């Protein structure tokens, strides 16, 4: 058995028999413990995002942190990954994708809230945090914080960026005949000034670029659905019947119930990243007056990623009909091409160029978002100055190499590293859940009183103790010029 076979088997075992069930189980636990916060406080999530552009005080705004997190979440997986889930799991996979996303919204709120509670202030007044920080500051274990940080830097800083760059290069080559070498050079030139500008520059680019392209893609999906409005009831019927194995025509094929559950769950979980420990790294950078505010914003990111963008892909493919997609027969290798073919079938060949632009922006934004995650953890590992610039150069090299290479081995190793990373994070947020639940209770108390008080982490009876450091100390301020104590 060769190395690739061993890696593939290990990945399948970790995800199919371990991580999917643990992520769903943790999500259900937090859904119960928070009183179904993703339903009860959904209007508050919308209000918080609407007001999230202000109040940064010279730092990173809540909306910018939301955009960076969404930039990493919304990648080519939303186009290619959903198409693959449909080919492997049938239309029923979409239903289970929705279910795990709804559950994962509670997990996303908890981990983002913890990232805010245990964040630290940099000398320039900006903030940083994430699982490595709440593992060290909340659980008192720098060793496990380092383990998490190393896994994340490898997975997101290098491996996943190679994969995203490869997707851009192959798409431009297959659709427009652009040589991969030119794509590699172009990506490095575009990414360099953003990456060397640090997390703040990534945030400024992401808050403009990603909402525009996501909006364009959703508009495209709405047009496709509008042109096939009479087919929508049948599409919904396919999804529900496939989810529970009620479509006898699909029995034993890709539409079987087990295939639908596993592929829908995997697509939902690994697209929205809830519980994986990635999004909290940017959630911590936001300047907010209460940790739960950013928790609400990041929870909504799961909704946008799966319920909107992934669902848009599913409806585009399913509305195209048997001329493009037949459950159990369409090849898995179709990937992003399946979505592009479905759009072209409905709107014409001119959309191939538009879909190429959308795939490019989604993948490039993921490169930026992934780097932002990595930089936070490089700082945790005390890698600064010239060493940090050397690693930025390494990330650019990974982008260039990824554009030119076959990456099956890199992808498999990254998947294993991410599974280990997620396991460490899930154990940590379960152990620290009293802090997140206490902060949520504090936020509800403040809202019920009709106030907008700044969160106080010292002497707060709803918390299990005092929050380390001075960020949430009584009288602390969110000003870029505030020095580190």
| pLDDT tens-place string over residues 30-68 | 999 999 999 999 998 888 887 766 655 556 677 777 776
Q: How far is the C-alpha of 173 from the C-alpha of 179, rounded, in Å?
A: 6
**Residue 114 confidence (pLDDT):** 96
Looking at per-residue pLDDT, the higher value among 434 and 385 belongs to 434
Q: What is the mean pLDDT of residues 77-92?
A: 76
Top-ranked range on mean pLDDT: pick from 48-52, 219-223, 447-451 = 447-451
- Residue with structure tokens 């652009």? 178
Q: How far is the C-alpha of 394 from the C-alpha of 371, rounded, in Å?
A: 11
Answer whether 103's CB lies under 8 Å from 24's CB.
Answer: yes
Name the residue among 285, 287, 224, 242 with its Cα closest to residue 54.
287
Q: How far is the C-alpha of 36 from the C-alpha of 44, rounded, in Å?
A: 13
Q: Is the predicted pLDDT of residue 255 greater than 60, yes or no?
A: no
Q: What dihedral angle (degrees, nearest 10) is formed by the CA atoms of 202, 205, 209, 210?
A: 30
**Residue 481 confidence (pLDDT):** 40
Q: What dihedral angle (degrees, nearest 10) is formed by the CA atoms of 30, 35, 40, 42?
A: -10
Q: How many CB atoms lie within 10 A of CB 469?
A: 17
pLDDT tens-digit map of 257-300: 777 777 777 777 767 778 888 889 888 888 888 999 999 988 98
- In sequence order, the β-bridge partners of residue 286 are 60
Answer whether 354's CB lies under 8 Å from 361's CB.
Answer: no
**Residue 480 confidence (pLDDT):** 42
Q: Is the predicted pLDDT of residue 438 greater than 70, yes or no?
A: yes
pTM for the whole structure: 0.83
**Residue 483 confidence (pLDDT):** 39
Q: What is the mean pLDDT of residues 170-176?
A: 70
Sign of the CA dihedral with 241 first, then 246, 252, and 258 last:
positive
Top-ranked range on mean pLDDT: pick from 15-24, 193-202, 336-345, 408-417 = 15-24
Looking at per-residue pLDDT, the higher value among 162 and 128 belongs to 128
Cα angle for residues 83, 84, 85 (degrees, 5° grid): 90
Least confident of 97-101, 117-121, 149-153, 211-215: 211-215
Q: How far is the C-alpha of 416 from the C-alpha of 149, rounded, in Å?
A: 15
Q: Which two tokens stand for residue 166?
A: 């490869």
Q: How many CB atoms lie within 10 A of CB 219?
A: 11
> Average pLDDT, whole number, for the chain?
79
Q: Is the predicted pLDDT of residue 314 greater than 60, yes or no?
A: yes
Print the SS3 string covering the chain. CCHHHHHHHHHHHHHHHHHHHHHHHHHHHHHHHCCCHHHHCHHHHHHHHHCCCCCCCCCECHHHHHHHHHHHHCCHHHCHHHHHHHHHHCCHHHHHHHHHHHHHHHHHHHHHHHHHHCCEECCCCCEECCHHHHHHHHHCCHHHHHHHHHHHHHHHHHHHHHHHHHHHHHHHHHHHCCCHHHHHHHHHHHHHHHHCCHHHHHHHHHHHHHHHHHHHHHHHHHHHHHHCHHHHHHHHHHHHHHHCCCCHHHCCCCCCHHHHHHHHHHHHHHHHCCCCCCCHHHHCCECCCCHHHHHHHHHHHHHHHHHHHHHHHHHHHHHHCCCCCCCCCCCHHHCHHHHHHHHHHHHCCCHHHHHHHHHHHHHHHHHHHHHHHHHHHHHHCCCCHHHHHHHHHHHHHHHHHHHHCCCHHHHHHHHHHHHHHHHHHHHHHHHCHHHHHHHHHHHHHHHHCCCCCCCCCCCCCCCCCCCCCCCCCCCCCCCCCCCCC
pLDDT tens-digit map of 345-382: 778 777 777 877 877 777 777 777 777 788 888 888 88
The confidence band for 26, taking pLDDT boundaries of 50, 70 and 90, is very high
């Amino acid at each position: 058995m060769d190395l690739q076979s061993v890696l593939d088997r290990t990945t399948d075992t970790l995800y199919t028999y371990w991580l999917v069930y643990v992520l769903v189980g943790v999500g259900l636990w937090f859904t119960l413990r928070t009183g179904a916060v993703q339903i009860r406080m959904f209007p508050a999530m919308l209000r918080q995002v609407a007001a999230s552009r202000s109040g940064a005080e010279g730092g990173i705004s809540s909306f910018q942190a939301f955009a960076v997190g969404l930039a990493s979440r919304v990648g080519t997986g939303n186009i290619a990954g959903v198409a693959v889930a449909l080919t492997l799991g049938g239309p029923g996979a979409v239903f289970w994708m929705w279910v795990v996303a709804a559950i994962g919204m509670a997990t996303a709120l908890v981990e983002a809230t913890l990232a805010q509670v245990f964040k630290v202030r940099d000398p320039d007044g900006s903030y940083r945090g994430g699982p490595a920080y709440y593992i060290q500051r909340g659980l008192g274990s720098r060793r496990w914080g380092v383990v998490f940080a190393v896994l994340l830097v490898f997975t997101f800083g290098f491996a996943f960026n190679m994969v995203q760059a490869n997707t851009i290069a192959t798409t431009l080559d297959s659709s427009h005949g652009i040589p991969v070498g030119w794509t590699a050079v172009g990506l490095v030139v575009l990414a360099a000034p953003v990456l060397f500008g640090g997390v703040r520059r990534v945030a400024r680019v992401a808050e403009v670029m990603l909402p525009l392209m996501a909006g364009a893609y959703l508009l495209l999906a709405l047009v496709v659905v509008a042109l096939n409005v009479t087919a929508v009831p049948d599409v919904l019927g396919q999804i529900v019947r496939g989810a529970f194995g009620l479509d006898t025509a699909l029995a034993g094929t890709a539409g079987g119930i087990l295939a639908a559950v596993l592929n829908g769950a995997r697509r939902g979980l690994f697209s929205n990243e809830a519980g994986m420990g990635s999004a909290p790294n940017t959630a911590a950078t936001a300047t907010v007056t209460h940790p739960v505010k950013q928790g609400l914003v990041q929870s909504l990111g799961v909704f946008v990623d799966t319920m909107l963008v992934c669902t848009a892909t599913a409806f585009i493919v399913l509305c195209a009909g048997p001329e493009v997609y037949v459950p159990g027969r369409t090849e898995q290798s179709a990937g992003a091409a399946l979505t592009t073919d479905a759009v072209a079938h409905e709107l014409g060949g001119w959309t191939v160029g538009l879909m190429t632009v959308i795939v490019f922006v989604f993948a490039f934004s993921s490169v930026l978002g992934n780097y932002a995650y990595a930089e936070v953890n490089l700082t945790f590992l005390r890698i600064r100055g010239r060493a940090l610039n050397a690693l930025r150069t390494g990330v650019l090299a990974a982008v260039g190499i990824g554009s030119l290479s076959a990456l099956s081995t890199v992808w498999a190793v990254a998947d294993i590293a991410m599974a280990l990373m997620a396991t460490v994070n899930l154990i940590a947020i379960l152990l620290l859940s009293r802090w997140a639940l206490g902060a949520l209770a504090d936020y509800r108390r403040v809202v019920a009183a009709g106030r907008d008080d700044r969160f106080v982490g010292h002497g707060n009876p709803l918390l299990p103790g005092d929050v380390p450091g001075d960020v949430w100390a009584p009288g602390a301020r969110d000003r870029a010029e505030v020095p580190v104590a």
